[in-house]
């Protein structure tokens, strides 16, 4: 096992003359005048360690096996490096090849692979520069998320992955069953008899942990859940996954203004953390993926977000003179093209849109005094569109009952959600950040399939 102090990241901080062991996978090898130059990576940092093997140092049968993709362990002495971009290199004195990587068939070569091809070799793509950088940023992002909430006294909770309620009321659910799908038990009217199913009723993968987070918030005030969520919507777009990670804070004694304020503070904190801790990875994304990525993040980390109501947003869109693919009219939902126009062209910074029409939002959002809109908020950012969705929750039991009915949902499965409104209810609010959308924003990566190690999308769940 590589111990702290032994990662390649740490080796770069050692003084010249240190004798040490370096382990990792070969990125490239180049031979010149009897000397071999081998770049190795252990994933700990963007820069590879250069190992220099002088003629006669290693037995020919070892040298032969040091090819791209091989897993190697070098011993040697750190020396000053004449090569640009690296302070030191390792002068090899010995090498063990743990696993050779058949040079004639190793699929990951130095350059020229498309992102589509790399998805087909998801078992090897973490060894490519781009994906090493993506997964280090993802790690830093996850850590920053916990740090932000822990520093503010939020309690981390785990909400269930299997549920029997559809939080968003959108119907895009994966069903979980142990019934024989080819021949399920049936009732007299031919409907499936779920009393024989594992949970005695239909069960699904959670689309959100929000409803359960609300339970905890009404006991522990400030909580957050952070886990995988599942949506069976058949949207084959660069911004949708069937399995994605969401962080959802939920706060008691909190209205929509507090909610928006926390969302801004949170986004700025995690951006700042990634800027401060992933400098080399971000420099790579700026050079190779999206030239504006770092300057945008620097700007957003400081600028205050624009805030407008849905009704104002509709007016801006109507006044744009554009011909939209999806028509703009009060009452219809904002589409990606509208969201991107607002944030990229009109305001040129993150935009928080609030107070959407009640008929296009979930049943749990608090109804405004105008009776037409609800206390919803979406945070939109350039290049991505919606990155956060949240709301103040309806805490009044009678209004909540009406909303369930209006949304065509039965009361019975929500009995506990309703009961919370009878016992110690309070103003409360929360939001959900899509971790992969945030990753796209941080890295400039264009397709959501390339910011999660093993993407799940319609027709694709390999690895």
CB 390 → Mg ion: shortest distance, Å? 9
Assess 389 for contact with ligand 4AD (CB under 6 A).
yes
CB 208 → ligand 4AD: shortest distance, Å? 4
Nearer to ligand 4AD, 163 or 208 (CB): 208
Q: What angle do CA 252, 258, 264 make, to 5 degrees?
A: 125
Assess 241 for contact with ligand 4AD (CB under 6 A).
yes
CB 259 → ligand 4AD: shortest distance, Å? 9
Which tokens in the block code for residue 308?
């407008």
Residue 8's binding partner among ligand 4AD, Mg ion, none (Cβ under 5 to 8 angstroms by kind) is: none
Binding segment for ligand 4AD (CB under 6 A), chosen from 30-38, 94-102, 236-244, 327-335, is 236-244
Q: How far apart (Å, rounded) are the C-alpha atoms in residues 156 and 160? A: 13
Binding segment for ligand 4AD (CB under 6 A), chosen from 76-84, 318-326, 337-345, 434-442, is 434-442
CB 386 → Mg ion: shortest distance, Å? 6
Residue 166's binding partner among Mg ion, ligand 4AD, none (Cβ under 5 to 8 angstroms by kind) is: none
What is the DSSP annotation of 5-67? Answer: T-SHHHHTTSPTT-EEEEEEEEEEEEEETTEEEEEEE-SSSSSPEEEEE-TTSS-HHHHHH--
Nearer to ligand 4AD, 25 or 431 (CB): 431
Nearer to Mg ion, 336 or 426 (CB): 336
195: enclosing H helix or E strand:
none
Residue 442's binding partner among Mg ion, ligand 4AD, none (Cβ under 5 to 8 angstroms by kind) is: none
Spatial CB neighbours of 128, under 8 Å, sequence gap ≥ 6? 108, 113, 118
Assess 70 for contact with ligand 4AD (CB under 6 A).
no
Q: How far apart (Å, rounded) are the C-alpha atoms in residues 229 and 245? A: 6
User: Binding string to ligand 4AD for residues 242 to 281, with x set by CB under 6 A, is what?
Assistant: --x-x-x---------------------------------
Assess 395 for contact with ligand 4AD (CB under 6 A).
no
Binding segment for ligand 4AD (CB under 6 A), chosen from 125-133, 152-160, 380-388, 411-419, is 380-388
User: Binding string to ligand 4AD for residues 190 to 229, with x set by CB under 6 A, is what?
Assistant: ------------------x-x-------------------
Assess 437 for contact with ligand 4AD (CB under 6 A).
yes
Nearest to 424 by CA among 258, 215, 158: 215
Assess 389 for contact with Mg ion (CB under 5 A).
yes
Assess 350 for contact with ligand 4AD (CB under 6 A).
no
Which tokens in the block code for residue 395?
């805490």
Q: How far apart (Å, rounded) are the C-alpha atoms in residues 357 and 161? A: 30
Nearer to ligand 4AD, 247 or 328 (CB): 247
Size of the site for ligand 4AD (CB under 6 A): 22
Q: How far apart (Å, rounded) are the C-alpha atoms in residues 105 and 101? A: 8
Residue 297's binding partner among ligand 4AD, Mg ion, none (Cβ under 5 to 8 angstroms by kind) is: none
Which tokens in the block code for residue 140?
């830093």
Q: How far apart (Å, rounded) are the C-alpha atoms in residues 259 and 257? A: 5
Nearer to Mg ion, 265 or 333 (CB): 333
What φ, ψ does residue 251 adopt, rounded to 5°?
-125, 130
CA 112 to chain centre: 26
Assess 455 for contact with Mg ion (CB under 5 A).
no
Placement of tokens 């949207």 in the chain: 235
Environment class of 410 (CB within 10 Å of its CB; exposed 0-12, middle 13-18, buried 19+):
exposed
- Among 328, 388, 439, 452, which residue interacts with ligand 4AD (rule: CB under 6 A)? 388
- CA of 379: how far to CAs of 132, 264, 305, in Å? 28, 9, 9
Assess 163 for contact with ligand 4AD (CB under 6 A).
no
Query: For strand 222-230 and strand 243-252, is the pairing parallel, antiparallel, or unpaired?
Result: antiparallel
Under 8 Å between Cβ of 48 and 27: yes
Q: How far apart (Å, rounded) are the C-alpha atoms in residues 444 and 291? A: 8
Give contact residues for ligand 4AD (rule: CB under 6 A): 167-168, 208, 210, 231, 240-241, 244, 246, 248, 386-391, 430-432, 434, 436-437
Give contact residues for Mg ion (rule: CB under 5 A): 389
């Amino acid at each position: 096992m590589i111990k702290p102090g032994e990662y390649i990241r740490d080796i770069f901080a050692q003084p010249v003359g240190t004798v040490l062991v370096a382990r990792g996978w070969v990125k490239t090898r180049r031979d010149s005048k009897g000397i071999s130059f081998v770049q190795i990576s252990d994933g700990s940092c963007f820069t590879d360690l250069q190992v220099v093997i002088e003629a006669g140092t290693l037995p020919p049968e070892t040298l032969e096996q040091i090819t791209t993709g091989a897993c190697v362990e070098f011993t040697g002495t750190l020396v000053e490096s004449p090569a640009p971009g690296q302070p030191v290199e390792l002068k090899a004195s010995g090498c063990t090849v743990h696993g050779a990587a058949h040079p004639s068939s190793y699929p990951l070569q130095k350059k020229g692979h498309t992102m589509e091809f790399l998805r087909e070799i998801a078992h090897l793509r973490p060894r490519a520069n781009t994906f090493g950088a993506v997964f280090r940023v993802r790690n830093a992002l996850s850590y920053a998320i916990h740090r932000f909430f822990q520093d503010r006294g939020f309690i981390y909770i785990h909400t269930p992955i299997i549920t029997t309620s559809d939080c968003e009321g959108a119907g895009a659910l994966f069903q979980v069953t142990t019934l024989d799908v080819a021949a399920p038990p049936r009732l007299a009217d031919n409907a499936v008899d779920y009393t024989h199913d594992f949970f005695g009723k239909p069960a699904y993968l959670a689309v959100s942990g929000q409803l359960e987070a609300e339970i905890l918030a009404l006991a522990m005030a400030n909580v957050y859940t952070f886990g995988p969520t599942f949506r069976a919507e058949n949207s084959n777009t660069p911004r949708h996954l069937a399995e994605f990670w969401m962080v959802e804070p939920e706060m008691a004694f909190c209205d929509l203004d507090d909610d928006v304020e926390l969302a801004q503070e949170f986004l700025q904190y995690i951006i700042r953390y990634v800027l401060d801790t992933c400098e080399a990875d971000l420099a790579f994304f700026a050079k190779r993926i999206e030239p504006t990525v770092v300057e945008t993040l620097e700007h957003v980390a400081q600028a205050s977000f624009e805030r407008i109501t849905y009704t104002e947003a509709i007016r801006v869109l109507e006044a744009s003179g554009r011909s939209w693919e999806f028509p703009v009219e009060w009452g219809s939902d904002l589409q990606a093209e509208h969201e991107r126009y607002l944030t990229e062209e009109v305001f040129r910074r993150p935009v928080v849109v609030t107070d959407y029409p009640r008929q296009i939002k979930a049943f749990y959002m608090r109804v405004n005094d105008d009776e037409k809109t609800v206390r919803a908020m979406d945070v939109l950012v350039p290049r991505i569109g919606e990155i956060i969705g949240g709301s103040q929750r309806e805490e009044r039991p009678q209004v909540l009952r009406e909303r369930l009915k209006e949304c065509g949902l039965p009361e019975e499965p929500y009995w506990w959600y309703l009961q919370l409104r009878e016992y110690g209810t309070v103003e409360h609010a929360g939001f959900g950040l899509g971790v992969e959308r945030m990753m796209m924003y941080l890295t400039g990566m264009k397709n959501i399939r390339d910011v999660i190690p093993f993407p799940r999308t319609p027709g694709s769940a390999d690895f």
